[in-house]
Amino acid sequence: AEMGAPHTPARSVLFQRERTGLTYRVPALLPVPSGPTLLAFAEQRLSPDDSHAHRLVLRRGTLAGGSVQWGSLHVLGTAALEEHRSMNPCPVHEARTGTVFLFFILWRICRTSPHAFVFYSDDLGQSWRHGGLVPNLRSGECQLAAVEGGPGGPVLYCNARSSLGSRVQALSADEGTSFLPGQLVPPLAETSRGCQGSVVGFPAPFPSWLWAGTQLVGAKSHPQPPSSGPRVQGSLKEASEAPTPSPTWLLYSHPTGRRARLHMGVRLSRAPLDLHSWTEPWVIHEGPSGYSDLAALPGRHMGGLAFACLYESGVRVSYEEISFCLFSLRDVLDNIPPRKQ
């Protein structure tokens, strides 16, 4: 694509609001090797309201030749408990056994104070541990990515919803057992109440030194190492101050509007521990947009590393439908707009 004329990837509508009032929200996307098969999950609600969440639904897709063929909608009737609402699907593929686990919330009325944290297993799901909360900033729904190759070794990166005007990021050097104090990420704006967003990590293009000496379009350049907030102890101090490209890059999806959930955008960071490394957004959908979920796909299917995005969209409001699109890393690099002066 020529600079100045970003294109919009083709999209398919997988779930659409019905005349009866049935509404589909909170998408979750899981690629399952080796096809890959794509599993698209969502909440089925009796109305758009959270209190009317009802069941979880699924559509299966097969990726071939750069496009996806989707099967029919299935209601997951066993993912339910009487007098509870099934919400927030979170599918996980366990590679050794090929098992797909579907985690979700069974909700009854209660009062909660939202904080991002990790719930994890070190033994293939036989036992589970509750990791530490992101300690200092009010944060909500989050997604995680393992960032490799930093000066202090691998870290777990958390990107969370916030009502503080910007996204919150936090780092863990002990695989999620505890998090360092969270930091606001100024380039990643939130609407007043915040909105869920998605982040996925992937290996930087090889050889990474070809990219290290280039200035990525839309990324901010720092002659001096940027300040990344409060000083932290141990291995993360050096990592948080280093703006150099990382062996792990991150892709992030979120509505780009500051006042309303509008215009689904994707941003790239090639130095994830630098708060200011995020590019300007490439808008992949114009109009009302909401929750989203990203997935990285094997390169052989689209001539290189590719991504899929499942996101809420609409013409008048963001919960009219849930859409799906595919795009490559090359598409991202070609369509990121120049940074605003």
Instruction: Give the pLDDT confidence score for residue 116 in this predicted structure.
Output: 64
Query: Which of 49-53, 120-124, 151-155 has the lowest average pLDDT?
Result: 120-124
Instruction: Give the pLDDT confidence score for residue 303 in this predicted structure.
Output: 67
Instruction: Give the pLDDT confidence score for residue 58 in this predicted structure.
Output: 97
Instruction: Give the pLDDT confidence score for residue 114 in this predicted structure.
Output: 60
Two structure tokens written together for 126: 């036989």
Instruction: Give the pLDDT confidence score for residue 220 in this predicted structure.
Output: 47
pLDDT at position 158 over 90: yes
For residue 211, report the phi and psi dihedrals to the nearest 5 degrees: -90, -25
- Residues marked as catalytic: 49-50, 291, 312
pLDDT at position 101 over 90: no
Instruction: Give the pLDDT confidence score for residue 56 in this predicted structure.
Output: 93
List C-alpha distances in Å: 190 to 133, 194, 195, 228, 330. Answer: 21, 5, 7, 19, 27
% the chain with pLDDT above 90 = 53
Instruction: Give the pLDDT confidence score for residue 328 in this predicted structure.
Output: 93
Domains of the chain from N-terminus onward? 11-335 (2.120.10.10)
Q: Strand 11-16 and strand 23-32: pairing? A: unpaired
Instruction: Give the pLDDT confidence score for residue 199 in this predicted structure.
Output: 98
Instruction: Give the pLDDT confidence score for residue 90 in this predicted structure.
Output: 92
Q: Which residues contact 174 (CB under 8 A, 6 or more apart)?
A: none
Per-residue confidence band for 246, with pLDDT thresholds at 50, 70 and 90: low
Instruction: Give the pLDDT confidence score for residue 110 in this predicted structure.
Output: 58
pLDDT at position 99 over 80: yes
Two structure tokens written together for 206: 């090889």
Q: How far apart are CA 340 and CA 280, in angstroms?
A: 8
Two structure tokens written together for 257: 């509007």
pLDDT at position 285 over 60: yes
- Average pLDDT rounded to a whole number, residues 108-123: 65
- Average pLDDT rounded to a whole number, residues 215-220: 47
Residue recorded with tokens 């990474």: 208
Q: Strand 67-70 and strand 53-64: pairing? A: antiparallel
* Cross-sheet strand order for the sheet of 262-269: 11-16, 321-328, 306-313, 282-297, 262-269, 248-255, 198-203
The overall average pLDDT reported for the chain is 83
List C-alpha distances in Å: 178 to 134, 158, 240, 246. Answer: 8, 11, 17, 23
Instruction: Give the pLDDT confidence score for residue 198 in this predicted structure.
Output: 98
Structure-model confidence comparison of residues 205 and 256, the more confident one: 256
Instruction: Give the pLDDT confidence score for residue 299 in this predicted structure.
Output: 67
Instruction: Give the pLDDT confidence score for residue 1 in this predicted structure.
Output: 39
pLDDT digits (tens, 9 = 90+) for 19-68: 999 999 999 999 998 778 999 999 999 888 887 888 999 999 999 888 99
Kindly report the pTM of this predicted structure.
0.84
List C-alpha distances in Å: 341 to 59, 167, 220, 222, 267. Answer: 43, 22, 10, 14, 17
Query: Which of 187-191, 205-209, 268-272 has the lowest average pLDDT?
Result: 205-209
Q: How far apart are CA 305 and CA 203, in angstroms?
A: 9
Per-residue confidence band for 232, with pLDDT thresholds at 50, 70 and 90: very low
Give 283's DSSP letter.
E
**Amino acid letter at 295?**
A
Structure-model confidence comparison of residues 63 and 310, the more confident one: 310
Let me know: does 27 contact 295? Beta carbons within 8 Å: no
Instruction: Give the pLDDT confidence score for residue 111 in this predicted structure.
Output: 55
- Average pLDDT rounded to a whole number, residues 179-189: 95
Instruction: Give the pLDDT confidence score for residue 218 in this predicted structure.
Output: 47
Query: Which of 101-115, 141-155, 259-273, 274-288 has the lowest average pLDDT?
Result: 101-115
pLDDT at position 304 over 70: yes
Two structure tokens written together for 267: 């941003």
Angular region, 287: left φ>0, alpha ψ -120 to 50, beta rest: left
Residue recorded with tokens 């992030």: 252
- Average pLDDT rounded to a whole number, residues 136-163: 88
Helix (H, G, I), strand (E, B) or coil at 132: strand
Structure-model confidence comparison of residues 125 and 242, the more confident one: 125
Structure-model confidence comparison of residues 3 and 279, the more confident one: 279
